[in-house]
Amino acid sequence: MKFQPDNAPTNKYSPEQKERIRFLLEMADKNLSSPNTIGYHGAGLATLKLLIQGGKFPGKAYEEGTAFKKGDLHFFPLVKGFPNEFSKAYLVSLMDLSSNDLNIESLNEEYGTNEATKYAKSGSQRQIFMEVAKLDITNKEHCNLMDELLPISYKTEEAVGHISKIYNDPVAYEQISTIAKKLNLDKQKLIDIIMKVAERMQTQAGFVFALDKKILKEYEIKGGDQGSDLYINCPDGLDYKLISGLRPIGQKEKEFLVSLRAGI
């Protein structure tokens, strides 16, 4: 995925992209619990850039077995934001709240934004790695390769400052060697990339996106895979105007919004 540098002046954006930027900056000034909000989704900085670039919020980039379809977009619901025709009983029937020791009243702004924040940080790690390793977040083969690496990258993040731990773990070392070959890298180069990802994650953690209730008129909502989440399927992406709020999590995201705002 190619995009403008973080500090790119907006005169490099098309008129349509400038319109999206203005809208998103307006959403960044809004309260995440506005009356129009029905839930929260977390995603990385690269997702926001794609949103500005094409006007569509991307769902899952590819189909994965029978569990996930291309375009699936999961979110954590804000129950009070749903219209009356979506009864609490109906929403409960879509989820498995008991598996998380939750009840319908638990699905408030605090819970939803906290869970979306976790999702955003996880997505950010994935996106940062793919960027540093020159992988394309919209390429299925590249995403599958990233899935192979996830257990290693998480392990390595925990071992920041203690890189020797990797060498003492024969299984992790063998996995790193295999994946390094697929990436046409030597083992040390791959380890260096992972460590760079861990370093960048200290300041780059993604965004929480609030979703507008107008989604309910265009998409069918279904129960997600986390027990307390829902999802819609939007294979062509979700229109940017169906976002009702935006909150940067990390310093990198805050600086990116500032750079956009300075150029408008």
Q: Rounded to whole angstroms, what are the CA distances from 171 to 132, 149, 181, 198?
A: 24, 13, 16, 20
The model's pTM is 0.81
Q: H or E element: which one contains 208?
A: strand 207-212
Residue 95 burial class via C-beta count within 10 angstroms: exposed 0-12, middle 13-18, buried 19 and up:
buried
Angle between helices 251-263 and 45-54 (to 10 degrees): 30
Give the three-class secondary structure for 82. Answer: coil
pLDDT by 10s per residue, the chain, length 264 = 443 444 444 458 899 999 999 999 999 998 898 889 999 999 999 899 999 999 999 887 666 665 678 889 999 999 999 999 999 999 999 999 988 888 999 999 999 999 999 989 888 877 887 788 777 776 777 777 766 665 555 444 444 434 445 555 656 666 667 767 777 777 777 778 777 877 888 899 999 999 999 999 999 999 988 889 999 999 899 999 999 999 999 999 999 999 998 877
Q: H or E element: which one contains 84?
A: none
